[in-house]
Amino acid sequence: MNENRSFTFFELLVVICLIFVLLGTFAGYAAEVLKIAKETALRNELTNIRMAIEHFRIINNRYPQDLKELVNKRLTKEQDNIIITQRKYIEPFRLDIQGYLLDPFMNRYEYNVVDGQVHSSTKDFLLW
């Protein structure tokens, strides 16, 4: 009696289909989780940038000319010839080639120098 213990073509086809169904389900779930993570990062970054703008305004009695000034200018406050700190107003998260801050969706933040308001230029997040 010759026993053939190999898989049939039909069994292999079923296994491959199941693998693709599981991969498709995982890909949809992973994309949604990634979007939620980017939204959370965007909220946090906007909060940090807005606090840095307000800090800049308090120290310099004006709003920064652009967001690059927050990244490049050092915070120096001297009191009785003692420098309190020399840190930057904000450490950059992501920068494009021109040196502008990018949001988690890789779009530039939009900044209004008149009132110091900043928001994301990503669609659906313009009013954040």
Read off the CATH number of the domain in which 44 is found.
Answer: 3.30.700
pTM confidence score: 0.72
Chain segment 90-103, per-residue pLDDT in tens: 887 888 898 888 99
27-36 long-range Cβ contacts below 8 angstroms, 24+ apart: none
pLDDT at 37 over 90: yes
Chain segment 20-29, per-residue pLDDT in tens: 999 988 988 9
Band of residue 63 on the pLDDT scale cut at 50, 70, 90? very high
Residue at 90 is within a domain: yes
Mean pLDDT, residues 23-44 taken together: 91
Residue at 4 is within a domain: no
Q: Are 66 and 49 in contact (CB under 8 A)?
A: no
Count of structural domains, the chain: 1
The Cα–Cα gap between 60 and 9 comes to 74
Residue at 37 is within a domain: yes
